[in-house]
Structure 1
Amino acid sequence: MELSKNEIERQDRQRALRGKRVKSISLWLIGVAVTAAAVYGLVLWSKKDSANKPGIVIAELGSDHIPDGQRVGEYNSNPPTSGPHYAQPADWGVYEQPLLDERLVHNLEHGGIWLSYRDADDTALTAQLRDIADDYTLKVIMTPRPENDARIAVAAWGRLLKLESFDREQIEDFIGAFINRGPEQTPY
């Protein structure tokens, strides 16, 4: 049985349409595969990048503001690196008295670094930390914090370095890696 010219043209159009569909689906699948590979690569890269930085990652507890005077109770790290905090941060600089965690967490949210030390009577350590803090007019705050479970704690938003002995290089590496890296970018 011989096909009519119209039937042959119709079959040719159907074959061409099927070919276009196959090509379209193939390109779409390739696009999905490339996108998935790129996302997977970025996740691996960010984990590797994070692993090469000083300190440990601390799960973020959000950034809700609470009324001044309200206390949070417990955070998920000591000292805290994120979580509920007061709406007003502390002024940058060196303090000789402890400040409330709820105030200082806001400084971390602004990309600040919090140098804290357990023993306010440790004058040698205080002088060493002050020497580092004095290099920064903004974004670094230093306080004693008797609640620390380490002699020295250096905190950034979602990141914490604990030391039992002074290590200027580690502290400066931490500051360099995390200063101005908080979720709220402010020039002050």
Structure 2
Amino acid sequence: MGSPTTDNDSSSARKAHVAEMRRAEQARRRRLRGLTVAASAVVVAGLVAGAVFVVKARSDDGGKKAAAAASATDDTKNAGTGPKSAAGGQWATGADGVRTWKGPLARNHVTTPVTYPMRPPVGGDHNPVWADCNGTVYTKPVKDEMAVHSLEHGAVWVTYTDRAAKSDVAALAARVKATPYTLMSPYADQSAPLVLSAWGHQLSVRAADDPAVDTFFATYVQGAQTPEPGASCSSGMMQ
């Protein structure tokens, strides 16, 4: 049987050991709390930074869209220079005067009339039947929906109003008759007397001898813009 002194010493040692373990556990918990707080701060900072970036990006994008919308003008009837907007797209005018439509041009076949955002139209949904475009000169207006189908095949469409000089109309008609994948027709509702159109592209010219006519024909008759290169331009609708 041990002495009272020895028992007291053992009890004191155990208490000291337990107290030390408690202090160590408390210190460990304090460290964990510190690490958790630090990690939370990092996460929160990251979330805040991400939110600021997203908001700024949206703000910048919205500002660009607003600026583009403010600078665009209606071009359903006018054919002036500079960017023009209409129904989901806008014109971009090149240094050569050729306007390129920056917007969607659908290619669905429809049997109902189509409202185009530009006149003459340079693309979009169209009639299943194309207007004959094998160097064909029409003396009466051609349906937009059929002429657009011709443009899809890579044709250049020459249109003119009664304000065009008869000599220019005759010269362009001769040019069209000698050029496969072209067609020509009167078009009252256009702003310029003489207009050349291809899929997604358009040019107003002052006269038939304008050098831009040759360049437009060379570039866009079965040009790179053609959605269906090699498709027939014969056996289409004649009127």
TM over 0.5: yes
Q: Contact conserved, 1:54 with 1:173, CA < 8 A, in 2?
A: no
Q: Aligned partners of 1:72, 1:113: CA distance in 2, in Å?
A: 20
**Is 2:124 aligned against 1:83?**
yes
Distance across 2 between alignment mates of 1:53 and 1:156: 15
Structure 1 runs of 4+ off > 2 angstroms? 50-54, 120-123, 163-168
Aligned residue runs from structure 1 range 36-185, under 5 A:
51=94, 55-59=98-102, 60-67=104-111, 70-73=112-115, 75-92=116-133, 93-119=136-162, 122-136=165-179, 138-181=180-223, 182-185=226-229
Aligned AA for 1:87? P
Q: Structure 2: how far apart are the matches of 1:148 and 1:57?
A: 17
CA contact (8 A) 2:139 2:185 kept: yes
Work out whether residues 133 and 142 of structure 1, in 8 Å CA contact, stay in contact via their aligned partners in 2.
yes
C-alpha separation in 1, matches of 2:132 and 2:163: 20
User: Residues 91-128 of structure 1, C-alpha deviation per residue, up to 9 Å, x if partnerless?
Assistant: 12111000111110000000100000012884222211
SS of the aligned residue for 1:143 comes to: strand
Which structure carries more relative contact order (alpha carbon 8 Å, separation 6+)?
1
Query: CA separation in 2, counterparts of 1:120 and 1:76?
Result: 23
Aligned partners of 1:61, 1:53: CA distance in 2, in Å? 23
Secondary structure of 1:83's aligned partner: coil
For the pair shown, which has the larger CA radius of gyration, 1 or 2?
Answer: 2
Matched residues, number: 135
Q: Distance in 1 between matches of 2:108 and 2:231?
A: 21
- 8 A contact 1:82–1:105 mirrored in 2: yes
User: Which shifted more, 111-120 or 152-161?
Assistant: 111-120
Using the alignment, how far apart are the partners of 1:101 and 1:147 within structure 2? Answer: 11
**Cα gap change, 1:79 to 1:128, in 2 (>3 Å):** same
Distance 2:216 2:149 in 1: 19
CA RMSD of aligned residues (A): 2.1
Q: Is the 8 A contact 1:120 1:144 kept in 2?
A: no
* TM-score, with structure 2 as normaliser: 0.52
* Identity, % of aligned positions: 27
Instruction: Give the SS at the match of 2:117.
Output: coil
What TM-score results when the alignment is normalised by the length of structure 1? Answer: 0.65
